[in-house]
Amino acid sequence: MTLSTTGTRRLAVAAAAALALSLGVTACGSDGDGKSSASGSSAASASGSPSAASPKASGTITVFAAASLKESFTDLGKKFEAANPGTSVKFNFGGSSALASSINSGAPADVFAAASPATMKTVTDAGGASGEPKTFVRNTLTIAVPKGNPKHVASLNDLTAAGVKVALCAKEVPCGAAAQTALKAAGVNLTPVTLEQDVKGALTKVELGEVDASLVYQTDVKSDAAKIDGVNFPEADKAVNDYPIAALAKAPNKDGAAAFVAYVQSPEARQALTAAGFQAP
């Protein structure tokens, strides 16, 4: 069977159109190396898929954090791990000044969360922070006493009464510096029977009955409400501590550090921290 000239032309046009369509589909789907083209990437972004440039948290993230953050950060660490499969958050809790000294001495850590800007500054001044630290919560002092308040402590001045034994944090750590500020504001000259290196140490002295009172954070009393009562005092408003957090310049896990710092500042984490007694910055 022979084709007319018109029929031959129609077949040629159809073949050309089919070839153009095939080339067009190939160009939109991949480049010569089989990678997604810009058009394909745009489509993925529009559909809500994660960007390839976004860091993904994985591996172990080591966090040095103030002792007063122990309960809250332990809980946040578990939530972070659940939201980021493949991660493991390891904490080192302690006095902020001791932690800062360890970081400046080269201790391997990814994140530092301090209980005062002054303590964080010792790390930033040494070039240890990656970027500007961010204040994520605030905390206020209270007087911790045994359940029932057997010495009837109602003010800072009551801590100077005969027979009342008091524990304070050492002035080098944030809770101790805040205590000194509050005592000065109240005009109270107090001699403690012990100076502790972090706020949990001061609280433990009350739990064990070794002292009658200690100056700790409101969050510490709230987390130990079964054993401890708290007595608020007005001078605490003069000694509110801001808590800054920063990823560290020598972090072994930089992506993980950035992700954890961002999570601590998220609405979910903020809600958990305020529920624990911290104040929003």
Q: In whole angstroms, give the CA distance from residue 209 to residue 81.
A: 37
pLDDT tens per residue, range 19-77: 333 333 333 333 333 333 333 333 333 333 333 334 589 999 999 999 999 999 999 99
List the single range of 19-28, 126-135, 153-162 with lowest mean pLDDT. 19-28
Burial of 57 (0-12, 13-18, 19+ CB in 10 A): buried
pTM of the model: 0.79
Per-residue pLDDT, averaged over 93-113, amounts to: 97
Set out the domains of the chain in order of their start, with CATH numbers.
59-138+243-275 (3.40.190.10), 141-238 (3.40.190.120)
User: Residue 200: pLDDT above 90?
Assistant: yes
User: Residue 126: pLDDT above 50?
Assistant: yes
pLDDT tens per residue, range 215-273: 999 999 999 999 999 999 999 999 999 999 999 999 999 999 999 999 999 999 999 99
Q: What's the start-to-end Cα distance of the chain, in Å?
A: 88
Per-residue pLDDT, averaged over 86-98, amounts to: 97
Pairing label, strands 59-66, 111-113: parallel
- Provide φ and ψ at 63, rounded to 5°: -115, 120
Secondary structure element (H or E) that encloses residue 247, with its range? strand 241-248
> Among candidates 89, 137, 131, which has minimal Cα distance to 113?
137
Per-residue pLDDT, averaged over 79-86, amounts to: 96
Give the type of residue at 206.
Answer: V
